[in-house]
Structure 1
């Protein structure tokens, strides 16, 4: 297999796995409460990553201030972001969820100019507005059918802002050569532990059925999405960070196709228009960042 074929296969698998998270989440949520799904997902993913990092690869443990950084990063990137995301997915369709996740680089670009105290560029601001318009267009007819709620859509968008803040925080800290799997493993474990008290407080035994749908959805989120998709993304950006960004344009399409096939999500004219708007926003952001390139662009996908 030559490098071009490897690039295409890697990118295609990534573009399928990354947006599949919304469908897997909806599947798991049919049998369990949101925070139960989240905590189980994080536990599985963290155990695998830390086993590989410390037992197989024998990488060092975090030291001193790194624990504080991991805790803050885990709080933003796991507890708040994915905690809100999984709750929101209870009230939105998998298609809307896939669109939001695929557009995450736009949110990161937007917030970076505020948190890093840089003037915001017009292309990034326009991209954010276009992407949010796309979410609203897709969700609009579904709100009347109760398939999407305003609260769910709001939580989903807010979760992306938390994810963006977490990514910017990560990029601003020095990790002293701490291995990527070590960082991901510990921040995932700590973030899950922060959610544990809330899971116990809200736990309802009758609402949780740990059957095959729960385990299929949760395991898919933990391994193909949280681990494999991230590693594929890092491989893509290592070869060519600019070209890697182009694979993001396929994510909304695959996400909606997966939801339509497995969950029977409706694909209407609103869906097509909304996807077009999100893709347009991604395009504006992608080409706008060539002029305003961010030092942390390689860390867009962390979980």
Structure 2
């Protein structure tokens, strides 16, 4: 039950982040917004880690911590913030949700999991959906195809971060790992400190930045890490399918914006591609069949 609650919290907060970024992104530049969000999250997580007593990962984990922090907390946030200046929140969420497909591709390249036909089918389907979203963006006066490209960059950062994060949770607790990668991400964004001071001046803007740091970052990444440490990465990644439709609903209610019809069709193709890429082969290999028979015997 705790895992379900953690996943539900993560999904809702991440969905709300797309809407919040779209709202405040017009006033705060991408790098500044990323840095402000991460500084708030690092401060809150630091207090919790100090209070609970950290369990630091082994030294061998630090390269992965650096990769996860820079890719997921740094590149992802800056790219997504820049993208949402060009495309609506729902479109951004649909493209970024290609992350699980990229995770499967990285697993095939670096973890020896291969490239089954379901993965290739999923990649092709998701690519077709992305093209449709790009075409829709090109035809929308308020959208920009470069926003789709930036969303793909964000998705790549997310995928690299997840692949790097999973082994980290074996050597340290979820809260400590989340704190460390957040600090790394904030350090990577420090060149934007001047923009942060210039852009975040009024209380309303500061409140939005604070929410992004406290909710979708500090709390949501902690609940994600908690769930990731206790379940399969592929199955957990599949729960992010719920984020895009939730973003579309939240953006419609709060911002009065809905993606173009063609973009919605493309988003459905992207989700179908992600689902196909994460589907295991129905026909077991000979070795798998032998092992299954032995287990049943």
Match of 1:223 in 2: 214
Residue equivalent to 2:14? 18
Quote the residue 1:299 is aligned against.
none
SS of the aligned residue for 1:95 comes to: helix
**TM-score, length basis structure 1:** 0.79
Structure 1: stretches of 5+ with no match in the other structure: 293-303
- The structure with more radius of gyration: 2
Residues 194-223 of structure 1 deviation map (CA, whole Å, 9 limit, x = unaligned): 2212554xx3976x2433442343223222
Q: Which residue in 1 is equivalent to 2:276?
A: 284
Contact 2:137 2:263 in 1 (8 A): no
Q: CA RMSD in A?
A: 3.1
> Take 1:181 and 1:194, find their aligned partners in 2: how far apart are those partners?
20
- Within 1, Cα distance between the matches of 2:282 and 2:42? 34
Q: Which of the residues 77, 85, 90 maps onto 1:95?
A: 90
Cα contact 1:32–1:209 (8 A) shared by 2: yes
**Matches of residues 48-197 of structure 1 in structure 2 within 5 Å?**
48-53=44-49, 55-61=50-56, 64-171=59-166, 177-197=171-191
In 1, Cα distance between equivalents of 2:188 and 2:172: 22
Displacement of 1:9 after TM fit? Answer: 6.0
**Deviation of the 1:36 alpha carbon:** 0.9
Write out aligned runs for 1:7-46 (5 A): 11-46=7-42
CA 1:177–1:12 in 2, change beyond 3 Å: closer, same or farther?
Answer: closer
Q: Does 1:272 pair with 2:268?
A: no
- Separation of aligned partners in 2, 1:66 and 1:86: 29
Distance 1:192 1:244 in 2: 26
Distance 1:227 1:204 in 2: 19
Deviation string, structure 1 residues 55-109 (Cα, Å, up to 9, x no partner): 2111144564444442333222222232222222222221121113333212111
2:278 aligns to what SS in structure 1? Answer: helix
Residues 1:267 and 1:71: Cα distance change in structure 2 (over 3 Å): closer
For structure 2, which runs of at least 5 residues remain unmatched after alignment? 285-297
Aligned positions, number: 283
Q: Distance in 2 between matches of 1:7 and 1:190?
A: 26
1:119 match: secondary structure: coil
* TM-aligned CA deviation for residue 273 of structure 1: 1.4
Query: What SS does structure 2 have at the residue aligned with 1:91?
Result: coil
